[in-house]
């Protein structure tokens, strides 16, 4: 369980995130949605201890993210940011192999190699594993980054806009992979999404944010309501019933 | 996707064996690894050849003469100085570029060399030429090293450990301090008498002839220990070079590690600058060449290559200086000539940095 208590980050007098109070249950996919600047990424980064919070407490699996040893947290929690740029040239396999660092400290065992292969195969990167990242398409590269954090085999996986810059096919493929990862490997995945319909189709819970506050948190059906969404996005949004559940029209 | 997948070998010869064994190697292919070892042996070979040449070639006294060994010993001092310079500059620059995530900067940006020239110039300016000549020996050496390390400790401690700790802000402040010190020393130098200026200038250009073997018993263990420490941290450096966020995600304590590593860099830069004087572009060129020769992320392979290239370049440059060009040119000029040419060739071939 991810438990956020009174967490706040004040960027400036007008830009305040929090205080946030929320409990994200274990297992499944939880989507963070909301307009730009609502504090979705800030919340995710604070959970992932990449951003220092000004006040409050966040615990992941009963570990306080500000006080627990970083290496212990790295075995429970992982986070992938939106932009990843490395100064060195890495092959897909080397990149995914870095995910084993919390365990092996860089000395990969045979067991590690097996796990690396497993996630490379899972993300259909087998043929590309010795390609350098700059030789891949955007979708392939994004899959490699997600493979890297999943290879860390943590119970909690936080992803900041993993569908950014992906076309519809790649985005669907990515969400299918995440869905399978949540189910087959029993991961708890928290993901920042911009597309409400992707959130509705693939997640178990949706957390909607607005103006640095949590506006609503609940199951897909509880959040996919026209008044609620219209209010959050300040746009007229209608909900119709599609073959796979509610669909937002805007 | 299928069109890309159908031609994997076209992208740089991936070995079939490597593909089947499915293990993670520091090199993309066996071919890259073989190329690495070949270049490493060539550089070491050139370095050893130039070392032997520097020590024995054109010795003015015959081998059986009693003064043969003293000549060799005197030349050995210069070779040891080159060894230290190559170790310090290669390790410091590669490490610094990795932790800052930037491959076109050098640790000189933190202002060590400006501080060195500031210390030398202000001694000359305030106390006169005799004081500068007397400002040598172990005490003076360690005062200088200590001052430089203190400067960097203040810089790192102040700018890196705070809540708003920021590596780029630190670099910017380092550049400003360096430029400020340079202007002050430049001002003081203008007020010196020409003879004093000449004496000072010889100290301010990096040269192995500045090295004094009196320091070696302290400097060599210090440098070797620091370098060993960095080498043993290779795995951690590999992760740190992925940047703050990724390193934190993998459980590396970023801030603490960066400060520790930058202190090690400071020790290396301060030692070599105090021993030999500033060699601003040497480390930069060595690091750039070694990334070309060692196409891997793994510092365990980059470090030896950087050292081998650095040592090879230095010894060859000095050998050419002494025995081909008749010691009329400053070695810095030669290093910059060849380094600059290599830089241009690399950029023209890659068409990017």
Tell me the per-residue pLDDT of A45-74, one tens digit each, with 9 for 90 and over.
999 888 888 888 898 888 888 888 888 889
Q: Do A87 and B103 touch (CB under 8 A)?
A: yes
In chain A, which residue's Cα lies nearest the Cα of B104? A87
Contact residues on chain B for A55, CB-CB shorter than 8 A: none
What's the rounded mean pLDDT across residues A93-110? 89
Residues 6+ apart with CB under 8 A from A17: A8, A9, A10, A11, A39, A42, A43, A212
Which residues in chain B are contacts of A123 at CB distance < 8 A? none
Residue A213 has what pLDDT? 86
B251: distance to nearest CA of chain A, Å? 4
For B206-213, what is the mean pLDDT? Answer: 70
A225 near B CB under 8 A? no
Mean predicted lDDT score pLDDT of chain A: 88
pLDDT for residue B4 is more than 60? no
Give the phi and the psi of residue A220 in degrees, each rounded to 5: -55, -45
Alpha carbon A59 to its chain centroid, in Å, reads: 17
Identify the residue with better confidence: B26 or B165: B26
Decide if A128 and B22 are in contact by the 8 Å CB cutoff: no
Rounded CA-CA distance B196/B33 in Å is 53
Chain B nearest C-alpha distance from A91 (Å): 7
CA-CA distance, A24 to A41, in Å (whole number)? Answer: 16
pLDDT band at B42 (very low <50, low <70, confident <90, very high): very high
Per the CB < 8 A criterion, the answer to whether B17 and B29 are in contact is no
Q: pLDDT tens digit string along B11-40? A: 444 444 444 567 888 888 888 889 999 999
Summarised one tens digit per residue, pLDDT across range A158-206 is 999 989 888 899 899 999 999 998 988 889 999 999 888 888 889 999 9
Give contacts of A 150-209 with B, CB under 8 A. Answer: 152
Bigger pLDDT: B106 or B84?
B84
Cβ contact, residue pair B98, A87, below 8 Å = yes
Closest-CA distance, A207 to chain B, in angstroms, reads 23
Q: Which residues pair with A206 in a beta bridge?
A: A31, A218
Percentage of the residues of chain A whose pLDDT score is greater than 90? 23
Q: Do B251 and A74 touch (CB under 8 A)?
A: yes
Average pLDDT (B101-117) is: 79
Q: Which of A143-147, B57-61, B265-269 has the lowest mean pLDDT?
A: B57-61
Q: Which residues of B touch A75 (CB under 8 A)?
A: 251
Q: Which of B4, B23, B249 sits opposite A78 (nearest CB)?
A: B249
3-state secondary structure of A32: strand
Interchain CB distance below 8 Å, B98 and A81: no
pLDDT for the residue numbered B38:
92
Q: What is the mean pLDDT of residues B37-57?
A: 89
Q: How far is A34 from chain B (nearest CA, A)?
A: 24
Phi first, then psi: give them for residue B136, nearest 5 degrees: -150, 180
Q: Which of B24, B256, B287 to mutate to test the interface with A (most CBs of A within 10 A)?
A: B24
Chain A environment of B248 (Cβ under 8 Å): 49-50, 70
Backbone CA torsion sign across B17, B20, B26, B29: positive
* Chain B CB within 8 Å of residue A113 CB: yes
Complex-level ipTM: 0.88
Q: Which two tokens stand for residue A93?
A: 């396999």
**Residue range B76-89: average pLDDT?**
89
Portion 229-248 of A in contact with B at CB < 8 A: none
């Amino acid at each position: 369980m991810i438990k956020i208590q009174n967490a706040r980050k004040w960027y400036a007098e007008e830009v305040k995130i929090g205080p946030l109070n929320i409990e994200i249950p274990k297992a499944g996919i939880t989507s963070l949605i909301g307009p730009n600047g609502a504090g979705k990424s800030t919340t995710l980064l604070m959970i992932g201890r990449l951003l220092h919070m000004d006040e409050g407490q966040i615990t992941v699996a009963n570990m306080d993210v500000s006080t627990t040893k970083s290496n212990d947290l790295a075995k429970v929690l992982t986070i992938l940011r939106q932009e990843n740029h490395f100064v060195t040239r890495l092959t897909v396999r080397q990149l995914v192999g870095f995910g084993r660092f919390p365990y092996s400290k860089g000395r990969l065992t045979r067991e590690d190699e097996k796990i690396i292969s497993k996630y490379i195969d899972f993300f259909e990167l087998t043929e590309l594993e010795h390609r350098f990242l700059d030789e891949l398409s955007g979708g392939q590269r994004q899959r490699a980054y997600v493979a890297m954090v999943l290879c860390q085999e943590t119970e909690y996986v936080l992803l900041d806009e993993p569908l950014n810059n992906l076309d519809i096919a790649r985005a669907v493929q990515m969400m299918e992979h995440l869905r399978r990862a949540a189910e087959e490997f029993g991961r708890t995945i928290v993901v920042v999404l911009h597309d409400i319909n992707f959130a509705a189709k693939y997640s178990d819970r949706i957390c909607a944010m607005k103006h640095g506050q949590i506006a609503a948190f609940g199951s897909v059906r509880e959040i996919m309501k026209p008044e609620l969404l219209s209010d959050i996005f300040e746009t007229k949004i209608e909900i119709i019933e599609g073959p796979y559940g509610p669909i937002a029209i805007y | 996707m299928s069109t890309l997948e159908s031609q994997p070998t076209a992208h740089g010869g991936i070995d079939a064996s490597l593909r089947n064994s499915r293990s993670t190697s520091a090199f993309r292919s066996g071919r890259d690894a073989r190329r690495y070892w070949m270049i490493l042996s060539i550089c070491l070979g050139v370095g050893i050849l130039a070392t032997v040449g520097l020590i024995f070639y054109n010795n003015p006294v015959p081998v059986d003469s009693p003064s043969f060994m003293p000549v060799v010993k005197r030349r050995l001092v210069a070779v040891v100085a080159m060894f230290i310079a190559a170790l310090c500059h290669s390790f410091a620059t590669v490490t610094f570029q990795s932790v800052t995530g930037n491959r076109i900067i050098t640790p000189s940006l933190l202002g060590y060399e400006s501080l060195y020239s500031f210390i030398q110039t202000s001694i000359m300016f305030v106390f006169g030429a005799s004081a500068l000549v007397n400002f040598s020996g172990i005490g003076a050496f360690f005062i200088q090293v200590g001052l430089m390390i203190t400067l960097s400790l203040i810089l790192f401690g102040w700018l890196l450990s705070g809540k708003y700790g920021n590596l780029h802000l630190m670099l910017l402040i380092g550049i400003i301090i360096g430029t400020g010190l340079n202007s002050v020393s430049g001002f003081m130098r203008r007020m010196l008498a020409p003879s004093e200026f000449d004496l000072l200038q010889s100290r301010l250009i990096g040269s192995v002839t500045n090295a004094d073997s009196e320091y070696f018993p302290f400097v060599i263990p210090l440098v070797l220990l620091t370098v060993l420490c960095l080498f043993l941290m290779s795995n951690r450096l590999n992760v740190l070079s992925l940047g703050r966020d990724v390193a934190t995600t993998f459980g590396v304590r970023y801030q603490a590690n960066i400060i520790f590593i930058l202190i090690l860099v400071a020790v290396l830069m301060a030692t070599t600058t105090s021993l030999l004087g500033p060699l601003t572009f040497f480390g930069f060129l060595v690091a750039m060449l070694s990334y070309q020769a060692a196409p891997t992320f793994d510092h365990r392979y980059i470090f030896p290559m950087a050292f081998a290239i650095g040592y090879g370049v230095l010894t060859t440059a000095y050998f050419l200086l002494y025995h081909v060009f008749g010691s009329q040119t400053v070695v810095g000029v030669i290093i910059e000539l060849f380094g600059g040419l290599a830089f241009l060739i690399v950029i023209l071939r890659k068409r990017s940095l």
